[in-house]
Amino acid sequence: MDRTAAQLRIQELHREINRHNYLYYVEDRPEIADAEYDLLLRELQQLEREFPDLVTADSPTQRVGAAPLEKFNQVTHRLPMLSLENAFNEGEMRDFDERIKRYLGLPMAKEIEYVCEPKMDGLAVELIYEEGSLTFGSTRGDGYVGEDVTQNLKTVKSIPLRLHCSTPPSLVEVRGEVYLGLAPFQKLNMEREEAGLPPLPTHATLPQVLCASWTRGSPPGGPSPSSVMPRV
């Protein structure tokens, strides 16, 4: 196969593998067996070995087997990543409502309709996509300066290395939470028990600590965080 044909086939394999990753890890409705998926990935790996100059940063091969980094550079966010505030009683909720009305220039008698949803509490991250490709990932840090964890976030398989659209915007910034689902948490405890270790307690902050640990340097023997829940 010449270089031109290899480039076309590599691009085709990128699209096909990314599509199957999305179906499997995001929509939970795989269309092919694992063995078929492995053949596609193996074909791509072989072509990239033969034509190393055709390897791109968003290739599916750049995710598989990527070792998490343990040391990080600091990065300044383009816009601050602000944290959420708590409201513990009716008075604090009314204060919040009044602040919103003042900010929007609405009369205090105006009724506002709110939408509430559970918050996935994990590790806040920011993903930067340029021309559709994931180029940068960072932690929230202090809201202004975070840590560059791009390589580690590439191990979270529900994060697309390339956006699933034909004409992506030149720049997209996505903010969300890396969180540990119930199934991988239970799997982790099963592995610990099989190794003769005590199971981890299920208190509220533990999954958040685990996600921070995996994102900033994966502990041995544990599953990767299961997903990213957008908070936009």
Confidence of residue 100 (pLDDT cuts 50, 70, 90): very high
What single letter denotes the amino acid at residue 224? S
Number of domains in the chain: 3
Give the CA radius of gyration of the chain.
21
Nearest to 215 by CA among 124, 133, 130, 135: 124
Residue 68 covered by a domain: no
**3-class SS of residue 42:** helix
Residue 54 covered by a domain: yes
Encode pLDDT of 37-91 as tens digits.
889 999 999 999 999 999 998 899 887 544 545 578 888 999 998 877 778 789 9
* Residues 102 and 152 both lie in one domain: no
Residue 69 covered by a domain: no
Please indicate whether residue 119 is annotated as part of the active site. Answer: yes
Domain that holds residue 198: 74-80+122-230
Choose, from 110, 119, 157, 187, the residue flagged as catalytic: 119
What span, in angstroms and rounded, lies between the C-alpha atoms of 198 and 196? 7
What span, in angstroms and rounded, lies between the C-alpha atoms of 17 and 37? 7
* Residues 226 and 126 both lie in one domain: yes
Q: What is the pLDDT of residue 221?
A: 45
pTM: 0.65
CATH number at residue 196: 3.30.470.30
Residue 19 covered by a domain: yes
